[in-house]
Amino acid sequence: MDTSATPNSGIEPQKAGIAIKVFGVGSAGINVMEQMVTRGCSAMTFAAINTDSRNLAKSSATEKIHLEIKMLRGLGTGGDPERGVAAAEENAEKLKAACAGADVIFILAGLGGGAGTGITPVLARVAKETGALVLGFVTTPFDCEGRRRQTLARLGLEALKAAADGVICLPNQMVCKLIDENTSVVDTFRITNELLGDGLVGVWRLLTQPSLIEIHFADVCALFRDRHAESFFAFAEAMGPTRSREAMDKLLAHPMLAAGEMLAESETALVSLMGGPDLTMAEINRVMEHLQRHCEHAQVIMGAAVDESFRDRLAITLIASRKSHDPHAELTEPPAKTEELDTQLLTRTATARPGSRFVPPPPDLPPEQVEQLLKRRAPGSPRSRRNLSKMLQAQLPLEIVSKGRFDKSEPTIHAGEDLDVPTYIRRGVALN
């Protein structure tokens, strides 16, 4: 069913046949979802999930799912992701029923706590079981929130990536590049929510907006389906006669792109251009040529749409996925040095360890004598059974590495012999 957009909202009519549902998980996810509701995205269905009933009561979502189990005792997860996992697993059928009928499911959450970190992987798994395309939009904590939350967020992100088709992750620390010292905490989190919301709206536009150059739903599914990749996004908008150049400059300056370096690592990229009736083909070509120079190794899928409310404006939405990269597994040395070290370890011949002056080297035995000794020591031989009752004291290959306070003293030499060495060792007498 098509719905009309509110004036000057930039929201386009929805294509028929694509059902989209947004789940806000945990306090942070519900806050981002509430902002999506105020943007006028009425074509999507919103659902709030939490273990805290008080937080759910404040939500304006049409569907509210309270995950309560006996272990929580009405107190929420207490920042423990294991409790979030337990609550989601026990209510898996309820979550699966909430996902039924949706073609695309967006999961909004903040990682590092209990509900968002624990519930989202389970929700993504049961959502995929219904056949939906599952995309996660998550944030990770600021550095000042502590190492524990950072670790929990990293583990939760890996679990979500393994369950969902794709994950767009916005590290909160990146927002520090966009604020100054006078920015309040409330405004900082608002900016974070807006950035994450831009990514969700960008994907939503790709899926639903009627376009002159259309990106089909099958193309989006081919990009994300069963890739379990971590994606990144950027959004930029400009006005005036130089809008294409200004929009590209803003796009490359987006904190998620790291000055364009992330584009060089991308494997696939979706680009959506939104303009008014005055959008020219030259502007589209200029933007795409500039982007393809930065991500020359990526498969680029482009779409362009025209909307009357975007007259004299140009908006660019970029969503890309890159190769697997774990910043925590980076090598401390360049790869060339590592390869050289591996080669040295493989090709280096073992050098003889210098013998100690306290222990004489063991005598060399001919092969025939070695074979005879092995036969005598065989478990079933008569000689071995006969010698079981008679234990022999063999010479132990002990090596004295230090003489304590006399280590630096000169040896006592008399008649060419070192008197510091015991007599039985100097004369080669075995103790039996």
Task: Give tens-digit pLDDT for 85-96.
Answer: 888 898 999 999
Judge whether residue 396 has pLDDT over 90: no
Is residue 198 within 8 Å of 233, Cβ to Cβ?
yes
pLDDT at 329: 39
14-208 to CATH, choices 3.40.50.1440, 3.40.50.300, 3.40.50.10310, 3.20.20.140: 3.40.50.1440
User: Binning pLDDT at 50, 70 and 90, where does residue 197 land?
Assistant: confident
Judge whether residue 304 has pLDDT over 60: yes
Which among 18, 16, 63, 9 is positioned nearest to 41, based on CA atoms? 9
Q: What is the pTM of this model?
A: 0.66
One-letter amino acid for residue 212 of the chain: L
Rounded CA gap, 152 and 173, in Å? 16
User: Binning pLDDT at 50, 70 and 90, where does residue 398 land?
Assistant: low
Tokens representing 177? 């590049």
User: Binning pLDDT at 50, 70 and 90, where does residue 380 land?
Assistant: low
Rounded CA gap, 24 and 102, in Å? 15
pLDDT at 345: 40
User: Binning pLDDT at 50, 70 and 90, where does residue 69 land?
Assistant: confident
Q: Left, alpha or beta for 128 (phi > 0: left; psi -120 to 50: alpha)?
A: alpha
For residues 145, 148, 152, 153, the Cα torsion angle rounded to the nearest 10 degrees is: 30
For residues 263, 265, 270, 275, the Cα torsion angle rounded to the nearest 10 degrees is: 0
Q: What is the pLDDT of residues 148-182, one digit of tens each?
A: 999 999 999 999 988 988 888 888 888 887 788 88
pLDDT at 200: 83
User: Binning pLDDT at 50, 70 and 90, where does residue 291 land?
Assistant: confident
The arithmetic mean of pLDDT across residues 112-132, rounded, is 91
Rounded CA gap, 395 and 381, in Å? 24
- 224: part of which helix (H) or strand (E)? helix 217-224
The arithmetic mean of pLDDT across residues 339-348, rounded, is 44
One-letter amino acid for residue 230 of the chain: E
Contacts of residue 251, defined as CB under 8 A and 6 or more positions apart, other chains included, come to 234, 235, 236, 257, 316, 318
pLDDT at 259: 66
Domain ranges of the chain: 14-208, 232-325, 355-426
CATH class of 232-325: alpha beta
% of the chain exceeding 90 in pLDDT: 13
DSSP state of 291: H
pLDDT at 229: 62
Rounded CA gap, 179 and 195, in Å? 13
Residue of 192 and 78 predicted with greater confidence: 192
pLDDT at 129: 92
Q: What is the pLDDT of residues 138-149, one digit of tens each?
A: 989 988 888 899
- 104: part of which helix (H) or strand (E)? strand 104-110
pLDDT at 11: 40
pLDDT at 348: 44
Judge whether residue 405 has pLDDT over 60: yes
Q: Do 14-208 and 232-325 share a fold?
A: no
User: Binning pLDDT at 50, 70 and 90, where does residue 394 land?
Assistant: low
Is residue 139 within 8 Å of 196, Cβ to Cβ?
yes
pLDDT at 73: 65
Residue of 82 and 177 predicted with greater confidence: 82
Judge whether residue 344 has pLDDT over 80: no
Number of residues that make up the chain: 432
Angle among Cα 22, 257, 31 to the nearest 5 degrees reads 30
Rounded CA gap, 264 and 247, in Å? 19
